Amino acid sequence: MASPKITKLELVVFQHQIDDMGTDYNGFNQVYEAGSSVTASSTVLRIHTDTGITGEYLAGPASRTVHGLDQVSGYLLGKNPFERELIYNDLKRGLRHTDRTAMGMVDVALWDFAGKIYGVPIHQLLGGWRTSIPAYASTYHGDENGGLSTPEQFADYAEQCYDIGYRAFKIHGWGDAPISREVENVLEVGRRVGDRMSLMIDPACEYNTWGEALLVGRACDEAGFFWLEDPYKDGGVSMFGHQRLREKIDTPILQTEHIFGLEGHVDFIVNGGTDFVRAGVYEDGGITGAMKVAHAAEGFGLDVEFHGGGLAHRHCIAAVRNANFYELGLLNPKIKSSQPPVYPPEFTDELNGVDANGHVAVPQGPGLGVEMDWDYIEAHKVDTLTRE
């Protein structure tokens, strides 16, 4: 094939409504709130080429993608869509003064293009290790509105998830809450399902102090938790703070969700700041960048755990040995659905998106491997940003 070229970028913005959804104390964490609703704006990036094949990616909320289009479009038009490694390195350098997340959506769309040209799913191009993946039910943050408002409600929900098939459950705790309730939540969920589920807690950097992280970490030890993730308000970036925390508790720590890119991850590992290594296509430069992190972790003898769901992560996890789970969420017993309904149920990250063994499916079609419901997207489209 002669050198193909990228001819046009499109970012399609469409909306869907999430019912019974509000926000907690400072407006950042989305939580259950009866009668409230949120209008979510999602985006699909389409990278057109002169081959007639288009790379497409459901790239996430408009608030995280739209600003990136003009950061990359001038560079990308005319480039060879097969040169992902060159594009990764050029954009990494070119965006060094700003947030580099636009690399992620570009790279995933280019992998989709490649898979479609070759006629195979991305996980097959990446390696091919497994065809289904154990998932954990990842909750919405605790709320004060009767959804996940008490340790008993979290434990009830863990049991409900167990009955569906899940064998792992991750708590996102409360924002701005007394630490005693966080500790009690860990202990109660541990008492109820700790003998049959892998349990994790992700305070999402909400605790004010290292000392509060230590208190919850000790509860995790008592309850046999599988990991403690991003506990306190260092923002998830202190190698030294987490190395000290690791000295004091037995529960493995999961850090590096907020360390964007390969080199920072390796620095974090060698400085003893984490046990599990976090990677993501949004944070780390697409499938290309996230797989570099995954293989770096493998080289250190560590496991990588991908942040959040989505088809791109199903392909990545399907292609690596050293990963335990797929993160399915976010979930709350009283929120019926929160994802844009553009994929069949087995590829949509809702509560019933797992099989009886608690696994999610790996797409087998070309590229990302699942057709989007373009009738739905067109019917709910609010904008198309085009660069050519």
What does the alpha-carbon distance between residue 355 and residue 165 come to, in Å, rounded to a whole number? 7
Nearer to Mg ion, 121 or 329 (CB): 329
Q: How far is the CB of 230 from Mg ion (least distance, A)?
A: 5
- Burial class of 336 by CB neighbour count within 10 A (0 to 12, 13 to 18, 19+): exposed
Q: How far is the CB of 136 from Mg ion (least distance, A)?
A: 12
| Span 326-385, contacts to Mg ion by CB under 5 A | none
Q: How far is the CB of 138 from Mg ion (least distance, A)?
A: 9
Q: How far is the CB of 5 from Mg ion (least distance, A)?
A: 38
Nearer to Mg ion, 202 or 206 (CB): 202
What does the alpha-carbon distance between residue 121 and residue 116 come to, in Å, rounded to a whole number? 8
Helix, coil or strand: residue 297: helix
Residue pair 104/283 in contact by the 8 Å Cβ criterion: yes
Contact map string, positions 213 to 252, toward Mg ion, x by CB under 5 A: ----------------------------------------
- The count of residues in the chain is 388
Nearer to Mg ion, 138 or 348 (CB): 138
Nearer to Mg ion, 20 or 257 (CB): 257
Quickly count: other Cβ atoms within 10 Å of residue 378's Cβ: 11
8-state DSSP, 39: E
Nearer to Mg ion, 65 or 255 (CB): 255
| All residues at 6 or more sequence positions from 126 whose CB lies less than 8 Å from its CB, including other chains | 287, 291, 315, 316, 318, 319
Write out the two tokens for 199. 């349990």
Closest CA to 221 of 257, 246, 256: 246
Q: How far is the CB of 329 from Mg ion (least distance, A)?
A: 10
- Which residue of this chain has its Cβ atom nearest to Mg ion in the complex? 202
What does the alpha-carbon distance between residue 76 and residue 48 come to, in Å, rounded to a whole number? 11
Tell me: does residue 305 bind Mg ion (CB under 5 A).
no
Interacting span for Mg ion (CB under 5 A) from 3-11, 195-203, 245-253, 266-274: 195-203
Interacting span for Mg ion (CB under 5 A) from 31-39, 76-84, 148-156, 199-207: 199-207
Residue pair 362/130 in contact by the 8 Å Cβ criterion: yes
Write out the two tokens for 289. 């960048």
- Burial class of 5 by CB neighbour count within 10 A (0 to 12, 13 to 18, 19+): middle
Q: How far is the CB of 278 from Mg ion (least distance, A)?
A: 7
Q: How far is the CB of 257 from Mg ion (least distance, A)?
A: 5
Nearer to Mg ion, 14 or 174 (CB): 174
Q: How far is the CB of 376 from Mg ion (least distance, A)?
A: 29
User: Of residues 20, 24, 143, 202, which one binds Mg ion by CB under 5 A?
Assistant: 202
Q: How far is the CB of 282 from Mg ion (least distance, A)?
A: 12
Closest CA to 231 of 171, 292, 284, 318: 171
Interacting span for Mg ion (CB under 5 A) from 153-161, 201-209, 280-288, 340-348: 201-209
Interacting span for Mg ion (CB under 5 A) from 129-137, 138-146, 198-206, 351-359: 198-206
Nearer to Mg ion, 182 or 257 (CB): 257
Sign for the CA dihedral angle at 313, 319, 325, 328 comes to positive
Nearer to Mg ion, 77 or 205 (CB): 205
Interacting span for Mg ion (CB under 5 A) from 24-32, 52-60, 217-225, 253-261: 253-261
Helices (H) and strands (E) in the chain, counts: 12, 13
Residues in contact with Mg ion by CB under 5 A are 202, 257
